[in-house]
Amino acid sequence: MMRGINRHGADAAGLGLHTVLVPILAACGALTAAFSPPATAALLVLLLLGLCGWSSRRLAGLVRQSESERRLLDEQLLQSQKLAAVGELSSGIAHEINNPLAIVSQEAELVRTLLENRGGLSPELAESLHEIAVQVDRGRDITRRLLDFSRKMKPVAQFEALDKIIEDMVVLVEKEAGLKEARVARRYDRNLPLVLIDVPLLRQAVINLLTNALDAIPHGGTITVATGSAGPGKVCISVADNGPGVAAEDLPRIFNPFFTTKPPGKGTGLGLSICHNIVERMGGKILVKSEPGQGAVFTVVLPVKGESA
Amino acid sequence: MKVLIIDDERDFIETMEKRFRFRKIPVTAALSGAAALEILSREEFDVAILDVRMPGMDGLDTLKEIKKRYPLMEVIMLTGHGSIESGTRGMSLGAYDYVLKPVDFSELLDKVEKAGERKRLNAARRT
């Protein structure tokens, strides 16, 4: 289900089979062949060849798997560090921008008052001033989302059932999905333990993923939401869509702030980066698997006992 | 735990007040966003129940103001089937949870209690 996480590819028992048992068998086989008639010896040698070939292929596979797991972890670490740095930067910028926005707002109000005192505003002036207010609000919206993104506040933890947290958000999105005649399929694992996490924070992350999926799917498309165990002490949530998928060159940037594949004006490009930030703060990981034409699957892995005060 | 209900429908508020009082939970009512902010400037509350569709200062604007001025207070949104997008926006704006109208009171009560718990945990940590 997930790429390379928690797979015990090279545990001691498996290696022992290849590094101890196979050579011993090979040696025994060779000795037996030495003292056997030619036909039997030939057969034994062929068998041994097969055995060694199989063993080598397995070992090579294990090495390759372990390498790709390590590379994946390295990429994730780099990504997290980059985003943490961007978080610091955006918080400072957002605070800075809020100041001039507040001033623009006040001055516009002042203009309105002055004009009203001088005998009223023409409709064009009123509309202009209104437009200024609207745009200032937009600016504030963006800075607020930036500040959300970089907020360092540590999460508060409460006990809740994972599928309940998600289902509540799915219900909200499902109604919007109806407009596109799209459906949402659920695959909840009912045997999961209660999670101890910051519930509304997780809800925010989930709703971001769901609205993203909803935007991605075509008319009549499907979103599939699933929960499951991700190894001892970990659970996972996945949101899959059958939309156009993500291009390979976009995949590494998909959690970057302001990165969006939507046309200008549609969406701030902060949804997934906020998700990433939230999940990291909860001590979890978020991964994406996608190929153009094959839709996308976002997987969130969380500790059952999340980080709290 | 102190609860503030913000809704423009008097009948709804009266029903809610009765049911909360029956469970010994003190509840105050505000008929608009502006009235709510006025009350909040004088008194502290733990949880607010907020209708997202109200005339005048609408639910989402009220939510934004509340989260800005009283970030520790938790807000539960009341969404009707026609205001689903507000529900989604509200969650991104920091609401704790939402409840669909018509309201299932035991569901609302459960969420209010969880919201109250979170407020207490947060407040305790800040000191």
Name the phi and psi angles at B111, rounded to 5: -70, -35
Q: Give the span between the Cα atoms of B41 and A255, in whole angstroms.
A: 39
Structure confidence at residue A2 as a pLDDT band (50, 70, 90): very low
pLDDT digits 0-9 by tens, B13-51: 999 999 999 999 999 999 999 999 999 999 999 999 999
CB B64 within 8 A of CB B48: no
**Which residues have C-beta within 8 Å of that of residue A153, sequence separation ≥ 6?**
none
Q: Give the span between the Cα atoms of B97 and B108, in whole angstroms.
A: 10
pLDDT, position A283:
87
Q: Looking up tokens 């980059």, which residue turns up?
A: A82
Half-sphere exposure of A149 (CA within 13 A, CB side): 32
Average pLDDT (A51-69) is 88
Q: Give the span between the Cα atoms of A42 and A19, in whole angstroms.
A: 24
The encoded tokens of residue A142 equal 């963006």
- A309 has a pLDDT exceeding 90: no
Global pTM exceeds 0.80: no
pLDDT, position B34:
92
The encoded tokens of residue A305 equal 């006992």
Q: Given A175, A176, A203, which is nearest B91 (Cβ)?
A: A203
Buried (b) or exposed (e) across A191-219, using 16+ Cβ within 10 A?
ebeebbbbbbbbbbbbbbbbbbbbebbee
Inter-chain CB proximity B118 and A158 less than 8 Å: yes
Q: Given A156, A158, A207, which is nearest B91 (Cβ)?
A: A207
Q: What is the DSSP letter of A251?
A: G
pLDDT digits 0-9 by tens, A73-120: 776 666 666 666 676 677 778 888 889 999 999 999 999 999 989 888
- A282 has a pLDDT exceeding 80: yes
Q: Decide: helix, strand or coil at residue B22.
A: helix
- A191 has a pLDDT exceeding 80: yes
Q: Given B74, B91, B121, which is nearest A204 (Cβ)?
A: B91
CB A223 within 8 A of CB A303: no
Inter-chain CB proximity B92 and A208 less than 8 Å: yes
Q: Give the span between the Cα atoms of A255 and A288, in whole angstroms.
A: 9
pLDDT digits 0-9 by tens, B56-109: 788 888 998 898 788 889 999 998 877 777 888 888 788 999 998 889 999 999
CB A144 within 8 A of CB A183: no
**Which residues have C-beta within 8 Å of that of residue B118, sequence separation ≥ 6?**
A156, A158, A199, A200, B74, B96
**Which residues have C-beta within 8 Å of that of residue A246, sequence separation ≥ 6?**
A254, A261, A288, A290, A291, A292, A296
Residues of B in contact with A140 (CB under 8 A): none
Residues of A in contact with B83 (CB under 8 A): none
Q: Decide: helix, strand or coil at residue A106.
A: helix
Residues of A in contact with B125 (CB under 8 A): 154, 156, 309
Structure confidence at residue A142 as a pLDDT band (50, 70, 90): confident
- Which domains can be identified in chain B, with CATH numbers? 3-126 (3.40.50.2300)
pLDDT, position A296:
94
Smallest CA–CA distance, residue A307 to chain B, in Å, is: 14
Structure confidence at residue A30 as a pLDDT band (50, 70, 90): confident
DSSP lists the bridge partners of residue A303 as A234
Structure confidence at residue A268 as a pLDDT band (50, 70, 90): low
**Average pLDDT of chain A, as a whole number:** 84
The count of other CB atoms within 10 Å of the CB of residue B54 is 22
The count of other CB atoms within 10 Å of the CB of residue A125 is 13
